[in-house]
Amino acid sequence: MTPAETEPTRDAVTYWKVAETPPAGGDPLDALIVRLAAAYEDPSLLKFHLDDVGSAAGRAAELADPARRVSTQGEVLTTADYLSAYVLEWTLHHLDLIAHLPHMPGPPAEGLARSRELLEKIAGSAFPTSLSDKNALLLGTGRRTLTTAEKTELAELTAKLPLVLG
């Protein structure tokens, strides 16, 4: 993220590009992410790294001017929109990290709710209120398979799912 002087080209919703299919791993960045994840042989090293990075990001966010413009990945956003997109990304990654660790705490309720709101805007449709924020995020991004009942409940929205965000 770099300070920018030009007008925003994206907001928290349009920052996300929705792909038709998940990454196949052929892209060099996709391959790098897999290699970086594998570098953390001991899960405590990843936890330490994410705690450190997350704490620093939280402190920076508290000090940031929400109207300030920043550039990332060739786009310009306000700091507020960048941080909203960041909350969605880190909430999804938090869910990924605890997917098979039921004893670990999940993302904060406020982060889940804000992430759901943003995902609904990206989808252009609200998820049924009967779905928890966590399940809306898991189903909406393909991290959990839809049941037959959920397919019926989601109706036309199922045709858009999963939302592969990039």
Helices 79-98 and 133-140 pack at an angle, to 10 degrees, of 90
For residue 88, the Cα-to-chain-centroid distance in whole angstroms is 3
At residue 34 the predicted structure's pLDDT band, cuts being 50, 70 and 90, is low
Give the chain's length: 166
* Dihedral-angle region of residue 61 (phi above 0 means left; psi in -120 to 50 means alpha; beta otherwise): alpha
**Residues ≥6 apart with Cβ < 8 Å to 102:** none
3 state SS of 50: helix
Mean pLDDT on 67-85:
95
pTM: 0.88
C-alpha 122/C-alpha 125 separation (Å) is: 8
- pLDDT at 106 exceeding the cut of 90: yes
List, for residues 136-159, the tens digit of each pLDDT value. 999 999 999 999 999 999 988 999
As to burial, measured by CB atoms within 10 angstroms (0-12 exposed, 13-18 middle, 19+ buried), residue 146 is: middle
Which pLDDT value is given to residue 33?
66
Is the link from the previous residue into 28 a cis peptide, with omega within 30 of 0? Answer: no
